[in-house]
Amino acid sequence: MTNQGHLRASWVVTAVGGVLFVGLAAWLVPWHPVPGGPLEALPASSFFSDAQIRRAEDFSRWARVWSWGSLLLSLATACWFGFTRHGRLLVARLPGPWWLRAAETVAALELIARVVTLPFAVLQRRHLLDYGLTNQSWTGFGVDLVEGEALSIVVTSLGVVAVIGCARRWARAWPVVAGGALGVLVLAGSFVYPVVVEPIFNTFTPLPDGQLRTQILRLADEEGVHVDDVLVADASRRTTTLNAYVSGFGSTRRVVVYDNLVDDLSGDEALSVVAHELAHARHNDVVTGSLLGAAAALVGVGLLGLLVGSDRRRVSMAEPAAVPLVLALVALGTFVAAPVQNTISRQIETRADVDALTTTHDPDAFIEMQKQLALHSLADPNPPALSQFWFGSHPTTLTRLALAERLAGD
């Protein structure tokens, strides 16, 4: 393999992925979803008492400390193994054929990172317990931790083994083959996630017959959204926060509400939440996210080909010794790309809010629902601007309340 041939393929994959991502984002993402232009967050004191604001701010401050601390330590650990000889020394000690050594390396590094960051996870859980945001036992917490870690190891190992296998089979063109394969895996993973992964962590039951179910199915019919059923997740065994979501697409699409949301909100407020989720389904937002993810996978593999696998480097992409460096680059790339991902997410979530308000014609229920969601999760009414830009996947509560008041006045 010549460097020139390998690098040419990497540049092509990066360029194609970048063009696809920009094109899809321009076409599918609602960049101006709010009638009347950008919103200005309303004062927190207009909706919450001073005590409620202080409690949310105190909780959020320390929640950020523990989550950011865990993130930084995780990145530092990945870089220590990826950019030094320690990662290669670890791989050299592992037995077995190349594919097994690659998977073993992933497992070892994932477990090391989990052990290193475990104190932050424990501190975060104690913080949730102190503020009454979870009622899960420590045993349940441990089981969720183990299951989540096992899932992460399996998924990451499959991706890493696939990329290394491509590099071993197609020395010059592996970025093209691996990029296409990972893009397909992203789409396939999004399709099977509701029926393969979600049942690992929750039990789902159909929403019982009653007024709320009838209203939801009627609203779905009016909006042209095919919904076979609305599922209720037994989330209350893990958290006291309220939530709902849409996952999957096509035959695996699910509209899911938390059981405590059904129990704790009024019928009109719960309907407002589901209207938001039906908007995601109507606009095929899961498909949009999956297509953007597949394009991003192409960019990632292309950039990986430019940074790893050249014979001028100390490691070859065709060998398990590259795994620590690959994981470090993926971790850093995910962190750097977070603002792009979350900016897109906020636009999509805002459009769903607009649709929920216009379809239910009930801004009062929307406002009360947003207040209850914020109080149950102790959401910071005024998060730091950098934090919201980098990590905020949804608009802030006060921005969403401003949207409701604007549309109510139209």
DSSP 38-55: ---PPPGGGTS-HHHHHH
Taking 90 as the threshold, does the pLDDT of residue 229 lie above it? no
CA dist 145 → 114, 118, 121, 200 (Å) = 9, 10, 9, 12
Mean pLDDT of 251-276: 92
pLDDT band at 311; cut points 50, 70, 90: very low
Q: What is the pLDDT of residue 307?
A: 87
What would the pLDDT profile of 327-339 be if each residue is shown by its tens digit?
999 999 999 999 9
308, pLDDT greater than 50: yes
Are 130 and 378 spatial neighbours (Cβ–Cβ below 8 Å)? no
Cα–Cα distance for residue pair 333/269, rounded to 1 Å: 39
Q: What's the pTM?
A: 0.93
**pLDDT of amino acid 309:** 53
Q: Which residues contact 245 (CB under 8 A, 6 or more apart)?
A: 256, 277
The pairing of beta strand 254-258 with beta strand 244-247:
antiparallel
Work out the average pLDDT over 172-201.
93
Mean pLDDT over the full length of the chain: 93
Sign of the CA dihedral 199, 338, 394, 297?
negative
Q: Is the pLDDT of residue 349 over 50?
A: yes
